[in-house]
Amino acid sequence: MPSFRTIGGLCAALGLFMAPLPSADAFGPPPKPIIQQTAEAHLLAQFDRFATLTDGAVGIAVLDLQTGEVQSRNGDTLFPMASAYKVAVAGKIFSMIDAGALRLDDKLPLDPALSSEGGIVWMFSRPGASLTVEKLMDLMLTRSDNNATDVLVHRAGGPQAVNGFVTGIGVHGLRVDSDTAHLLYRAMGLNPSSGGFRKNVDAARRADATLQQRDVRDLPYMPFALDPRDTATPQAMNQLLAAYASGRVLKPDSMQRLFTIMAHCQTGKARLAGMLPPNTPIAHKTGSLNGIGNDVGIIALPDGRRFAITVFVMKDSKGHKSRDRIMAEAARAAYDYFLFAPRRRAA
């Protein structure tokens, strides 16, 4: 017969066995659940973070040219294109070449009425001066020469003809209303009825000191930023680039020539290309005005896949270095996303 001492021991042991387990709080707070962020969500979060580098507005859109995948931030918001509109001018000119209405070696007269400022403006005062379409195209796309652009816009049939070309190929959300000289007038808040560009601008700056201050301080002109003319959404600009790259708009020779010229862009080297791996192929076109910084183009991955990217910044007063960094960061984030994200099937 067991003793009371033995029975007491058994009961004590049984009590310990039957006692409730210690609560989780006894060992510290419970572990937080692991939340896995998708690659897409991570990319968009990065876009949001880059946008904090400006006190203005940022639009970013990327488009996989193989699958049709789109990722964007403010992708359907209208932004002033500035000189990025020259991508549309180039498409119109090459479509005329494809139709036999123009040749790259055709010489176009440098009409003084088409001159504005900078670049080759000095050539317009030479009697009989002319340049080939090919040279004008190179100046427009690689150096963003406004004078060369407006000679091409005039030959294309004016801004309305360029706009008609864009809508005719099915791109909506991008409109061309002005040649470069009149776009610049609106960016300064001017509406001259006659006279040369340089004369009108100099007179306006003498009459209004705030024009000079905006230039010196690189400050935005809000009425221009809110004007729907000469604007595009980031997604519409990518659709224009994709239309060229698809081969359905331009003949192969024209498409190749266009992107070859854009691959030699001399402006905005700290923008889309600024943080990409060395020797990454990129064909792009920049746009700049007070408080505005843009860059649009096509970037190739090491395996040959390509994506279109558009980054627009407007209403910014922090300066071009901040705008450039936003573009560079966005391009690198998109590059890494498409390089390392799982392969998708073509749409």
100-116 tens-digit pLDDT = 999 999 999 999 999 99
Is 19 a residue whose pLDDT tops 70? no
Q: Identify the band that residue 17 occupies on the pLDDT scale cut at 50, 70 and 90.
A: very low
pLDDT the model gives residue 128:
96
Q: CB of 75 within 8 A of CB of 60?
A: yes
Distance CA 227, CA 282 (A): 30
Cα 27 to Cα 19, 75, 193, distances in angstroms:
17, 49, 80
pLDDT the model gives residue 154:
98
Count CA atoms within 13 Å of residue 234 on its CB side. Answer: 27
149-196 tens-digit pLDDT = 999 999 999 999 999 999 999 999 999 999 999 999 999 999 998 899
In the predicted model, what is the mean pLDDT of residues 63-75? Answer: 97
The 3-state DSSP class for residue 89 equals helix
Domain boundaries, the chain: 39-340
Distance CA 325, CA 316 (A): 13
In the predicted model, what is the mean pLDDT of residues 237-245? Answer: 98
In the predicted model, what is the mean pLDDT of residues 119-136? Answer: 97
**Polymer length of the chain:** 347
Q: Indicate the pTM of the whole model.
A: 0.88
pLDDT the model gives residue 302:
96
> Which residue has 């064909």 as its token pair?
283
Q: Identify the band that residue 13 occupies on the pLDDT scale cut at 50, 70 and 90.
A: very low
Is 75 a residue whose pLDDT tops 60? yes
Give the amino acid at 259.
F
pLDDT the model gives residue 193:
85
Q: Is the dihedral of CA 144, 150, 152, 157 positive or negative?
A: positive
Is 216 a residue whose pLDDT tops 80? yes
Of 59 and 34, more confident: 59
- Exposure string of 279-309, with b = 16+ CB inside 10 Å and e = fewer, is ebebbbbbbbbbbbbbbbbbbbeeeeebbbb
Distance CA 121, CA 107 (A): 17
What does the block give as tokens for 34? 């692991």
> Which residue has 């123009």 as its token pair?
102
**Homologous superfamily (CATH) for 39-340:** DD-peptidase/beta-lactamase superfamily (3.40.710.10)
Q: Is the dihedral of CA 285, 290, 293, 296 positive or negative?
A: negative
In the predicted model, what is the mean pLDDT of residues 49-76? Answer: 98
Of 270 and 21, more confident: 270
279-302 tens-digit pLDDT = 999 999 999 999 999 999 999 999
Task: Please name which of 63, 61, 66 lies closest in space to residue 347, comparing C-alpha atoms.
Answer: 66
Q: At what angle do helices 209-217 and 197-207 cross, to 10 degrees?
A: 100
Distance CA 201, CA 212 (A): 10
pLDDT the model gives residue 12:
47
pLDDT the model gives residue 273:
98
> Which residues on neighbouring strands pair with residue 107, listed in sequence order?
132
Q: CB of 48 within 8 A of CB of 42?
A: no
Q: CB of 268 within 8 A of CB of 284?
A: yes
Task: Please name which of 66, 109, 57 lies closest in space to residue 245, comparing C-alpha atoms.
Answer: 66
Of 212 and 234, more confident: 234
> Which residue has 């009409």 as its token pair?
111
Contacts of 188 (CB under 8 A, 6+ apart): 201, 204, 211, 214, 221
Which range among 8-22, 26-40, 240-254 has the greatest average pLDDT?
240-254
